[in-house]
Chain A
Amino acid sequence: MEKMIAGKTIAVNEEGYLTDFNQWDRNVAEEIAKENEVEMSDKHWKVIEYLQKEHQNQVPLSIRKIGKSNVVDIKEFYELFPNGPLKISTKIAGIPKPASCL
């Protein structure tokens, strides 16, 4: 599937997650964030960068791990991305939706 995001044609899956990380940039992230009622701040970007790094190192993401990341605690993570933190933050980060239940 393809979708126009921030003036670019971006390959996404049926849930709207990027399928090619090379197409990701900050403008794309900003627009996905806006669609999900998230306004990006420095703190948001720090979390996004952390998620991308973890994904690059093939670490499976979970709420528990993020709570121990020293980047953000769980309460803050929920405040930054209220309607499903892991689901929405990974979408903004341009990485796949984690399959974890934890």
Chain B
Amino acid sequence: MEKEFNGEIRKMMIILSKATLENVYAAFVLANGARMEGIQAEIFFTFFGLEAVHKKKLEHLHVATVGNPAMHMPTMLGGLPGMEALATTMMKKEMEKIDMPDIHEFLDILVASGVKLWACRLAMDMFHYKKEDMYEGLSDVITVGDFYKQGSGLGTHMLFV
């Protein structure tokens, strides 16, 4: 039964182009939050965003300490060896406190919640990644055009992270 459309959000199409922890979590929380409200959600992983679904890389994502004004540290300090690792460890500790899952578990939650995960074909080719290198819950490797087609219908919103 098709309900009358009254402007509500029905589907979130999220494009993730970065692999820093803060961006990956932002995309994942937004997708998960949509599903919790009964809104459909799909994520398109492109360029560095692909690392969030790359088996060997997804466990080693970092917080950006350089070029991130919210870190409240001088840019030169952020560039010192070990600084990113330290900030990442601290952030992961805080996340555990608020019951935030790690990247792999979060991906499992998204898949179980019905979120579709797509890898960008062009970026896959550029980085020489194969489908076997990627997280097993990935729906498929698709083109930008395919992704837009996925988003057709009333009440779809697109978001670039």
Contact of A86 with B by CB under 8 A = yes
Determine which of A67, A85, A87, A101 lies in contact with B109 in the assembled complex, contact meaning CB atoms within 8 Å: A67
The number of chain B residues touching the other chain, given as a range, is 10 to 19
Chain A residues near B113 (CB, 8 Å)? 63, 74-75, 78
Q: Are A64 and B99 in contact (CB under 8 A)?
A: yes
Complex Cα distance A84/B32, Å?
Answer: 11
**Is the pair B38, A73 in contact by a Cβ cutoff of 8 Å?**
no
Give the complex CA separation of A101 and B98 in angstroms: 11
- Residue of B35, B37, B100, B112 contacting most chain A CB atoms (<10 Å): B112
8 Å CB contact of A86 from B29, B36, B109, B112: B36
Select which of B29, B112, B114 is within 8 A of A102 by beta carbon: B29
Which residues of B have CB within 8 Å of A65? Answer: 99
- Interface residue B155 (Cβ < 8 Å from any Cβ of A): no
**Interface membership of B79, Cβ < 8 A:** no
Residues of chain A lying within 8 A (CB to CB) of residue B109: 63-64, 67, 74
Do A83 and B38 touch (CB < 8 A)?
yes
In the complex, the answer to whether A63 meets B32 with C-beta atoms within 8 Å is yes
In contact, A84 and B36 (Cβ under 8 angstroms): yes
Q: Report yes or no: A101 in contact with B112, Cβ–Cβ below 8 A.
A: no
- Residues in B whose Cβ lies below 8 Å from that of A63: 32, 36, 109, 113
CA–CA, A75 and B32, complex, Å? 13
Question: Taking A63-B109, A67-B112, A78-B113 as contacts, is the C-beta distance between A102 and B37 under 8 angstroms?
Answer: no
